[in-house]
Chains A and B, each alone.
Chain A
Amino acid sequence: MKIKVCGLKQPENIAAVAALGANYLGFICYGRSPRYIGALPVEVLAAIPASIHKTGVFVNETAQNINLLIDKYGFDTVQLHGDESPEFSNAFRNKVTVIKAFGVDNEFDFGQLENYANNVDYFMFDTKTSGYGGSGKTFNWDILNNYRLNVPFFLSGGISLDNLDEVKKISHPQFYAVDLNSRFETEPGIKNTDKLEQAFDIIKNKTLQMKYGVNEHGYYGDFGGAYIPEMLYPNVEELRQQYINIINDADFKAEFDDLMKNYVGRPSPLYHAKRYSEKYGANIFFKREDLNHTGSHKINNAIGQILLAKRLGKKRIIAETGAGQHGVATATVCALMGIECVVYMGEIDMARQAPNVSRMKMLGATVMPASSGSKTLKDATNEALRDWIANPVDTHYIIGSVVGPYPYPDMVARFQSIISKETKKQLVEHTGKELPEYVLACVGGGSNAMGMFYHFLDDEQVKLVAVEAAGKGVDSGHSAATTFLGQEGVLHGSRTILMQTPDGQVIEPYSISAGLDYPGIGPQHAHLYKINRAQYVSVTDDEAMQAGLLCSQMEGIIPAIESSHALAQLEKMKFNPSDNVVICLSGRGDKDLDTFIKYFGY
């Protein structure tokens, strides 16, 4: 669902609203409206990012004046809000998009729209008033069921935070956008950005729910759910009931944003890798999550969950870790908040990621070796779950990826979605538009990929590429290419795709990268894979190691071996020179120096 904010007139307020990322901004060119733009300087509109449609709103204005103002302000859309005829409306379509607005009440005759159907691009249905819009009231939306033409429409009139839930229930196939105006104002023409941001979150969440997001029972299509023993039910249910309210709370947001900026160092740069761009024949951008405090994207989720745990009154944190990045991030935020921290880590991983074990200990965490099963990430997860069963009341389990029982996959995705949220804004600065042609990320459980994909999911033209670890080759018996080798099943509390024997026993995966060495993927990834919204590919140890070396020597960035998998995929793709390609550089390679040294013999 697209969002239009209408009735802006004050320069600073316009800039602030534009920064929120609406799809359309509306400027009222009708002198009798309290939101009339008057002599608004043209530079104010020129500064609005090109990704936002600038809409001039007119009421029974002459064609000559409309054309003058289109040229003056650079409107790419006009909204005709008076009694304009089909022919009059059509006349502007050679240079702008045309929205024709109608006031609707219970007696509204949708038949009158037929003559407009081939003459405008969109309709707008607003509440009928004696004047021309601006009532601040809603009309009876049930009447939209009588609208049967195939011209998409904007819904306008009295939409507010109080009735957005109702708006979300409108399932008309031509429902294209909402028009937000008077109910989001401090005074006529001045918008309240806090309220608008809340509305954007609610609306965008709905967009995700409609297509790729989670439903109320925690499912993404066939995948997800909460397959947990009753012993874990109260813990998970408490989270399920609270997480949305808590993370939408203004205090929570303020604290999260502050820590993201001042502690983590966000926004992380979107770096235009020029030598890579030349080599691969496209505009290659690195989203630099490796520059975050603690060296990877894992801190985004750890901060979000520790703030949540605090609000749930938890006194003790547990976590699992594979490569140690999530363990370090969790130990870090626990130190920050003064909360006890226990990290479970497979015995084998403890040996191959020794520096991170030391870091966690130095940060004051207790590192518990998982010595059951295969002694790696999946067993660390089992041990953490067992701990949580035994400590249901005072302990919060910070899961590090978009895996586990609902609400974890959704909650972690939301915390990581800051990656794509920032990327969209940064792309506008770099390229003048917020959508790239390709987005690439590596996938173990899939948290950096989910964060990198999140705000692009609904932009179907953006090709999403998830890179799994093929290990020594997908047919070698030493691989972690889950979508290639796995079948549907249940792992760690969710229905997903996992590597398993014909008897349903979980197979231990292999990758040179400890962070991708997981036998499943998050349920949302399983869904995106099954419905082909994202492409899942795999890259071998050797290809990843070479890519890590190449990035070090061409861009001066030593990437984590996990992120090197995403970089390696570039070798296999063909681009047009104008393509914009974003790769999530999820972590830095310091922790992998030992592995790089052994592999290359430096």
Chain B
Amino acid sequence: MNRLNQLFVSKKDNLLSIYYTAGYPALNTTVDIAEALEKAGVDFLEVGFPYSDPVADGPTIQHSSEQALENGMTLNVLFEELAELRKRVTIPILLMGYFNPIVQYGIEKFCKKAAELGVDGIIVPDLPMYEYEALYSAHFINNNLSNIFLVTPQTSEARIRKIDALSNSFIYLLSSSSITGGSLQLTNNIEDYYKRVKAMELKNPTIIGFGISDRATFTKACEYANGAIVGSKFVKLLGEEDYMGKIPGFVESIRS
């Protein structure tokens, strides 16, 4: 059982996760930001490693990725930073990024290294279920790393069941079919979708992400899921002056 599993055993509601891009706004900020978020009460972290062609991301995270690459962020640099991180931060950490940098690093080597450094799970939007299951799942399982799948309003019930069976930490529910950084408009359709998934009584907890940006959207999401993830809104904050000083207030504004 990794830190993520333990978290979901001990806490079932209103879980808050924050996403940010490693290497943005500057190199060597990953650990400081993580520590500040843990102190502000965030339950787990998603650290993005940048990619040149992030098709599932909107302008905010695209920009942070471009900037991070310009700053010199690579998987090797990130792993150096993570070696420091586990000395100062205890909450679960997920890495999130696209598949090609992992392929270049070596999939098996990546899983091994991430696990060694205390990473608990991986989110790779462009690694779908068939490819994961048929080609790569052994590397994740052997290293006790959770692979987190996404579910959208269009995902069929049968497919959600399959995803539930393949998952061993939580399922990432997208608030809508969109790229990151949109604003969540809670239509009847979306609420029906949340209800539909909730009624399936999945074995894994669910966390809602994409379009969660303030207290209202966070609270709404938590009615249907075990928690929610804030991404683009926080990445925007990192582009501001004195972002370190603003982190506690930001977290407070989402969940007190």
Contact = CB atoms under 8 A, between A and B. Distances in A.
B95 to A, nearest CB: 14
Interface string A492-512: 110100101011111000000
Contacts of B69: 505
B103 A489 contact: yes
B154 A392 contact: yes
Contacts of A227: 99, 126-128, 131
B223 interface: no
Interface in A206-256: 217, 225-231, 233-234
Interface string A462-497: 000000000000000000000000011111110100
B56 interface: yes
Nearest to A383: B55
How large, as a class, is the contact surface on chain A? 35 or more
A414 interface: no
Contacts of B76: 503
B102 interface: yes
Given A378-B53, A389-B179, A505-B69, A230 B155 contact: yes
A19 interface: no
A382 interface: yes
Interface in B128-156: 128, 130-131, 134, 149-152, 154-156
A487 B104 contact: yes
B248 interface: no
Contacts of B55: 229, 382, 385-386, 389, 492
Nearest to B69: A505
Contact of A504 (B105, B128, B150): B105
Contacts of A228: 126, 128
A265 interface: no
B62 A372 contact: yes
Given A217-B130, A231-B152, A389 B177 contact: yes
Contact of A389 (B151, B159, B178): B178
B150 A229 contact: yes
Contacts of B53: 373, 378-379, 382, 491-492, 506
Given A390-B179, A392-B154, A505-B69, A226 B128 contact: yes
Contacts of A382: 53-55
B104 A489 contact: yes
B100 A504 contact: yes
Nearest to A488: B103
B204 interface: no
A389 to B, nearest CB: 6
Interface string B83-102: 00000000000000011111
A231 B100 contact: no
Choose among A226, A490, A498 the residue with the greatest number of B CB atoms under 10 Å from its CB: A490
B56 A233 contact: no
Contacts of A488: 103
Contacts of B156: 234
A231 B150 contact: yes
A389 B56 contact: yes
Contacts of A372: 59, 62
Nearest to A393: B154
13 contacts: A230-B150, A231-B174, A233-B155, A373-B66, A382-B55, A386-B56, A389-B56, A389-B177, A392-B177, A503-B104, A504-B101, A505-B51, A505-B101
Q: Which 3 A-B pairs have the closest CB atoms?
A: A504-B104, A504-B101, A230-B150
